Every structure is written in C-alpha cells, then in structure tokens.
Amino acid sequence: MIGYAASLFLFLSLSSPGKASGILSPSPSPDGKEIAFSYYGDIWIVKADGGMARRLTDSDAFESTPVWSPDGCYIAFLSDRDGSDDIYVIPSTGDEPPRRLTYHSSWDVPYFFNDRGDTLYFGSRRLEYRGALYKISISGGTPVKAVDFSLFNVRPIPGTDTVLFVRGATPSWRRKYRGSANWDIWKMSLKNQIPVRLTRFNGRDGWPMYSALDGRIYFVSNNTPDSTAQLFSMKPDGSDRKRITDFDDDVRFARISRNGELIAFQVFTDLYTYSVRSGEIKRIDVQVQEDYKNSEYYRQKLTRNATEFALSPDESELAFVLFGDIYVMEIKEDGPGTIKRITHTPEPEKYVSWHPKEEKLIFASLKSGNWDIYTVEPASEKKFFRDYSFRWKRIISSSATEKKPSYSPDGKKIAFIRDNGTLYVADSNGKKEKKLYDKNDVLWVSWSPDSRYIAFSRTELAWREDVYIVPAEGGRAYNITQHPNDDYKPMWSSDGRRLSFASRTAEGDLWIKYVFLREEDEARDRDYWKEMEDSLDSIRPIEIDFDGIKERIHEVAKLRGGYNYYTQSPDGRIYAIQAETPSGTDIWTVDWLGEKLRRRTQGGVNPKLIAISRDKKHIYYLDGKGRLKRISLDGKGNTPLSFEIEVEIPDTALKRALFEEAWWILKDGFYDPNFHGVDWSFLAEKYRDLAISRRTDRDFHYAVRMMLGELNASHLG
C-alpha cells in the first residue's frame, strides 16, 4: 500500500513547476532551516534559502497558519476541510495524513506549542465575542481556557511561562490605521496572568517575537513617516525601538524560529527573511509543483439565489437575474414554462426592466469593464422564451457608472443613474442625455403614467431620504415630503391622482403613505372614493398642485420594519409590504384606504422583491433564499416558479468579474470622493492579477481585503 507522503509525491511528480507568488502566513522551523507557509489553500515547506517547495497537505479546503512543534516533528495548522476553521496536526515529514484536533463551529487559530510540545495553545471565539486563549493536548481531548480575555498574535518566550501578545480591534489588512482600536504589544506570565503593556504607540504594533540570540523583541509597526508597516526590534521592557526594514509596502505576518535566528514575513506577494545574527534581509524565491487541483471552470446547479426579477408588461414572461446573467421564464397558469438564458457573460448584469411596448429588456452590465446600459431583444421570434439568439446593444456608455435604467411609459425616454446617484434622462436610443438634478444619492426612481414627470427619493441627511418630483424635461425639483422620517420608493397610481411612498423611523416603525397630487382630490371624502373610484377617468396630462402638497400626505398603514421593500398594484389600489413577524418578515397587503390588512405569507419568507399582477389576483415575490414564487390573493394557491439551471464559467473570468464588481462598488459608493488620499484606479492595477490568480475563494477574498485595506476605513471587508 502506498503511504500518504509517497502517493502525494507521485501525484505531484506529474505536474509542472512554477514560481509561488502570494504566499501567506510563513513560519520558520525551530532551527530556522525551513519555512512552512500557506499557498493555494494548502500547507507547504521550503528550505529557508528558497527553491522547490514540498506540499504537506492536499485538500479542497483552505489551510493556513502553520505552527511548528518545538522539536520540528509536527505542524499544527488551521483548516476548514470539515466546515468550520478547526486545528489539525500533521507530521512535518508528511508521513501521515492530518489529524483533527479541535471541533467547534467557531473559528480556532493555532498560536504556539508549549516547551514540551505536548500542548497547543490556540485562540477561539467559542465562548467569547472577542475570543480568548485556550490550550489542548496534541493527543486530543477537551480544550481548557488558559486566558479569559481578548488577545491575539500570542507568541511564547521559549523556556519561560511568559507570552507576548497583542490587544486591539482592527483587521490585519487595514493599512496605516490610527485610532482607538490600535494594536499594542503586551507580555504576561501564564501563571500569574498579570499583563504588562510594552507599547503605547498611536498606531499598530503587532506580531511580537522574542529572540534569545540577542534578548530583544521583534515586531511589526507602522510607526514610520509614511505609516507603512515595517519590522522593528525593542528591548524586553519596550524601550530602545529600532527600525529594521524599509519596504514600500507593508510587512505582514512575521514569525520567528524557536532558536531566535530567522524571521520570515511577507511583503505584498513576496516572501522575505531576516537573519537576527547577520542582519541580512533576503527575498526568498519559492518554486512549487503546479497540479491545478481545482477545475478551470466554475460549475454549479442552481435552484435558488436569484437576485431580482421583473414581470413583462403583458405578464406572460418574467425576467430574472441568476448568478449575474439574465433569464426569461414563460409564465403559465399552472407555473413556469420554458426558460431561456438571455445573457451569457462572466461579468454581472443588473437592474433589468422591460420596454413598455416592445419585446425588449434594458439593464446595466459590467461587460465592457465598467457599468454601461444595454438593451437586448429576441433575434427572430416575438417572445424571448421562444427564441434561441438575442441581439445586444450598448446604448449608454461612458467612463462613469450608469445603472438602474427604466423606460418611460410611452417608451420614448430612459431614466438612469450615473456615478454616485445622479439622475439623468435620455432618448430611448441613449442619445440627448440630460441631468435632471444636480445633487447625487438618488436611490429610487419612478415615471409618472403620462411620462411627463419623474418622482425620486434621495438621501438628504445621514440615512434619511426625501421624495421629490421633477419634470422629465428638466426644471425645478420639488421636495414633497420634507420629513424627519426616511421617505423612500415613490410610486405613481395609474390614474395619476396619487403618489405613494414608504416611510420609516430608526425605531422600526414602517408606514405606507400617499399624497394627493391635486387639491381637488384632497377635498373629497372617503365615502366619495369608495363610491366613485371605478368610474373616474385617469388624469391626462397629470396635474400637480405643489403648493401645500405636504399637507395632503395620508397614512395608509403602520407596520414593523426597517428599510423594507414594498410595492403597489399598477392602479395603486393595493399595497404589498415586507413587514416583520416573530419568524422573520412576511408579505402583508392593504388597500389604499387602509382597509383589509392581511398577512399573505407565513413562516418568514423574507421577501426581497414583490410585484402585484394587473388584475390584483396574484403576488409574485423573490424570497430570502432567492426562490421565485407566486401566490393567489384569493387564498387558493402558492405556486413555486421553480428553476434548475446549470452554470459553467471559466474560473479566471469569474474571479476577474468579481474583482471588478467589488472595485466598482467602492468606486461609486465610498463616502470620500478622494478615497482617503489613495489612487483607487492604481490599486485596481496593483491587486487585480493577485486576486485573479488565487485558487481558493478565501485566498481571493484576502487579496480583495488587502485592496480595501488600502482605504484605511472601517466596516470594509
């Protein structure tokens, strides 16, 4: 029987060598002669001066953070091969397969072995929000808490019971941070557990390491003129700080050999070492056998995870977006019919909507490298679901972002959003653009039934929106709400008499409201509307009395919810609202007079999008798991609009598209137009190839986080 190491060698011997770029979490062996590291989601070992690395683990999981036992015989590492981040141990020779050491749904990360090598200390959040230090026998058993307060980057001072550790709260990928969540270095005896603070720099001091060779503590700090993180040393009491390196990029994940002679660390994609004895800084070239264990294609069968949908004007078709592509589903009385894939790109398509009179879709796509607006229509048939080929056309394009397109009801104009939420209109062919409002942060847009006005909501203060009406040909925009609530998503009734919107508070109160556009309608009482509504003609052209319009706002219903989705029937007489229930959020309906409030779904379907049919007999919705469904308002049925679609995308193309989408989200959405002083376009060039070349999702995510970290902003990544 072939042993584990022999079979692994035989497998790798069939592959080709290549240079390793983007090594993570390097860890020198106790004698400083080898370095273990994470690459392509596996643990590898290479000689300290570089050369061909040997693969220690081989799985489809992500494995990182190798830690050597004091005798160099074992390596503990983090792996998610069984679902969560647990710790495994493997002989450093690779003679045996890895053995699982910890079992918990929370993450566990190895820090160090004790001097005897029979106990491993590790960090975990299994009982504490910020985490604590635990220990476990390497033969297995129940972990025991060693320190019950938050600490990380825990490293031992060999031969003693003292550890060095870090306290702070910023992620490792955030660059040049200064603030209340700074990292500082501490030391403490594990016996008496009296912590002593060693650094008080208003920045980041981390990855502490003790060298018995010179009796100094080595660490990484961004206490530099340009705030890049460099390797430093100091005396054990925190005095006499000395800078060692001078790289253009940050030093990360530094670790020292047990004998105190060799420090390994990474700088961007490269592996470096520092000799404590000689002071030499050396870049290490590493070769690996490229086995391409992952498929060159991403393949998945999808029955959920749709992100949006739109009903066709005649309600015989439903367009939806799945994994970034547009599909059209035939709608039958008993459920879904034929489904056709309309777009087929690695880049995402979004914000799909229908032409009001033609068999045509309009949407935004990242196909060209930035968000542009396209149309697509069947090449030869009258319906999408009957055709096999489709004609694309890019109609609005610039170096900026264009998104959220919608046709006017007469089909002659297009409204769309550019960059950070600036409202524009153009002819239906994309020509003759006009900016309708100078300020940005427009979020929701709705055409009036006569195509003469556009209602929109935009952020006015912090998260609070107001609702505006502006002529589609340009002119003054009227703020019709001016209320401390968050007023959003305006929608016109088809008769042109009312404009509805949602209104919420930070305390979780959610109202549906409407405003009468004419004083004449405001003067009519409730009995009049109940008796005469069906016989009234639509207002064409629409008339709006802006004077005193805020005084004509009416509350329809109050429910519990945050920034929840709602919609109305095309005639504006029935509302469907996503509202809170004990089990999540469900769909409720109410008529425009505030009567017949009914709960329409049960069990917390958590709807993301909702639509009501023209005849007000059905509600279509997208549930929280991305499944399309239809329910009858007469209570006679709930019809799943099921799909089962196989997607196949080249892995490199998919990663490129994901990277570009992430970059554009910050390009358009970051609050500071100067990006905290960094060149955001340059950072795309810096990190794109690194991210695309990663084999595992977590490697890819880390590369993107490094890019986000360059912004030095909170709540990113």
What is the structure's pLDDT at 292? 57
Confidence of residue 717 (pLDDT cuts 50, 70, 90): low
User: What confidence score (pLDDT) does residue 293 get?
Assistant: 58
**What pLDDT band is residue 426 in, cutting at 50, 70 and 90?**
very high
Q: Which residues pair with 325 in a beta bridge?
A: 322
SS3 assignment, position 112: strand
Alpha-carbon gap, residue 399 to 396, rounded angstroms: 11
pTM exceeding 0.75:
yes
Closest CA to 394 of 423, 368, 425: 368
Q: What is the pLDDT of residues 163-190, one digit of tens each?
A: 999 999 899 999 999 999 999 999 999 9
Mean pLDDT of 137-157: 94
Confidence of residue 310 (pLDDT cuts 50, 70, 90): very high
State how far the Cα of 223 lies from the Cα of 202, in Å rounded to an integer: 8
Helix (H) or strand (E) holding 595: none
CA dist., res. 296 & res. 652, Å (int): 8
Decide: 371 and 387 in contact? Cβ < 8 Å: no
Q: DSSP secondary structure string, 12-45?
A: HTTSEEEE--S-EEEEE-TTSSEEEEEETTEEEE
Average pLDDT value for the chain:
94
List C-alpha distances in Å: 533 to 297, 525, 528, 572, 618: 58, 12, 8, 12, 22
**What pLDDT shows up at residue 638?**
86
pLDDT in tens, 638-654: 899 999 999 999 999 99
C-alpha 100/C-alpha 63 separation (Å) is 13
Listed in sequence order, the residues at least 6 apart from 85 whose beta carbon sits closer than 8 Å to its beta carbon are 78, 79, 106, 107, 108, 109
pLDDT-based confidence at residue 388 (cuts at 50, 70, 90):
very high
Q: Helix, strand, or coil here: 242?
A: strand
Distance CA 164, CA 188 (A): 7
| Cβ contact 302:643 at 8 Å | yes
> CB of 266 within 8 A of CB of 273?
no
Report the C-alpha gap between 135 and 114 in whole angstroms: 9
- Tokens at 160, concatenated: 């003693």
The secondary structure of 519-553, three-state, reads HHHHCCCHHHHHHHHHHCCCCCCCCCCCCCHHHHE
pLDDT surpasses 50 at 1: no
Instruction: Assess contact for 426 and 432: CB atoms under 8 A.
Output: yes
Give per-residue pLDDT as tens, 519-578.
999 999 999 999 988 888 888 999 999 999 999 999 999 999 989 999 999 999 999 999
Residue 269, amino acid:
T
- In 10 A of CB 142, how many CB atoms? 8
Can you list the positions of beta strands (E) in 190-324?
A: 196-197, 205-211, 216-221, 230-234, 242-243, 251-256, 262-267, 270-275, 281-284, 286-290, 297-302, 306-311, 317-322
Beta-bridged to residue 407, according to DSSP, are 414
pLDDT, tens only, 497-517: 999 999 999 899 999 999 999
- Answer for the pair 347, 660: CB distance below 8 angstroms, yes or no: yes
Compute CA distances 582 → 11, 237, 454, 557, 605, whole Å.
54, 55, 37, 19, 12
CB 254 within 8 A of CB 265: yes
Which tokens hold the place of 313?
A: 């004007």
Q: What pLDDT sits at residue 5? A: 45
In a 3-state reduction of DSSP, which class is residue 485?
Answer: coil
Ramachandran angles phi, psi of 692, nearest 5°: -65, -30
Q: Give CA–CA dist 485/510, Å, rounded.
A: 10
Q: Which two tokens stand for residue 400?
A: 């900026």
Cβ distance 428 to 413 under 8 Å?
A: yes
What is the rounded average pLDDT of the residues 476-504? Answer: 96
Residue 442 in tokens: 């427009």
3-state secondary structure of 248: coil
Contact 604, 528 (CB under 8 A): no
- Taking only the tens place, the pLDDT of each residue in 349-369 is 999 999 999 999 999 999 999
Position 130 confidence tier, pLDDT thresholds 50, 70, 90: confident
Residue 452: which of 418, 492, 405, 510 has the closest Cα?
A: 492
Per-residue pLDDT at 383 exceeds 50: yes
Contacts of 394 (CB under 8 A, 6+ apart): 368, 372, 373, 374
The DSSP annotation for 672-698 comes to: -TTGGG--HHHHHHHHHHHHHT-SSHH
Specify the pLDDT at position 463: 81
Q: Which residues share a beta bridge with 450?
A: none
- The confidence score (pLDDT) of residue 294 equals 63
Give the span between the Cα atoms of 576 and 599, in whole angstroms: 10
Of 616, 608, 605, the closest CA to residue 572 belongs to 616
Is the pLDDT at 3 greater than 80? The verdict is: no
Cα–Cα distance for residue pair 63/79, rounded to 1 Å: 4
More confident residue, 515 or 12: 515
d(C-alpha 472, C-alpha 451), whole Å: 7
Three-state SS at 312: coil
Distance CA 501, CA 489 (A): 5
Distance between CA atoms of 109 and 122, rounded to whole angstroms?
Answer: 5
**What pLDDT score does 17 carry?**
67
| Residues 473, 478, 484, 488, Cα dihedral to 10° | -30
Instruction: Give the tokens for residue 358.
Output: 């033609």
3-state helix, strand, coil in the chain (%, to 5): 10, 45, 45
Q: For residue 253, report the phi and psi dihedrals to the nearest 5 degrees.
A: 50, 50
Q: Which residues contact 141 (CB under 8 A, 6 or more apart)?
A: none
- Give CA–CA dist 328/3, Å, rounded: 53
Helix (H) or strand (E) holding 249: none
Task: Work out the number of other CB atoms within 10 angstroms of the CB of residue 495.
Answer: 18
Residue-wise pLDDT tens digits, 183-216: 999 999 999 999 999 999 999 999 999 999 999 9
**Encoded tokens for 252:** 């990360």
Residue 11 is predicted with a pLDDT of 37
- Residues with Cβ within 8 Å of residue 479, at least 6 apart in sequence: 466, 467, 468
Q: Report percent pLDDT > 70 for the chain.
A: 97
**pLDDT surpasses 80 at 391:** yes
Strands 286-290 and 51-52: parallel
The DSSP bridge pattern shows strands 372-378 and 390-396 to be antiparallel
Whole-Å CA distances, 109 to 196, 220, 253: 24, 20, 14
pLDDT in tens, 248-302: 999 999 999 999 999 999 999 999 999 999 999 999 999 998 765 567 889 999 9
**Band (621; pLDDT cuts 50, 70, 90):** very high
Q: Which residues pair with 298 in a beta bridge?
A: 649
Average pLDDT over residues 404-427: 97
Within 10 Å of residue 548's Cβ, how many Cβ atoms? 9
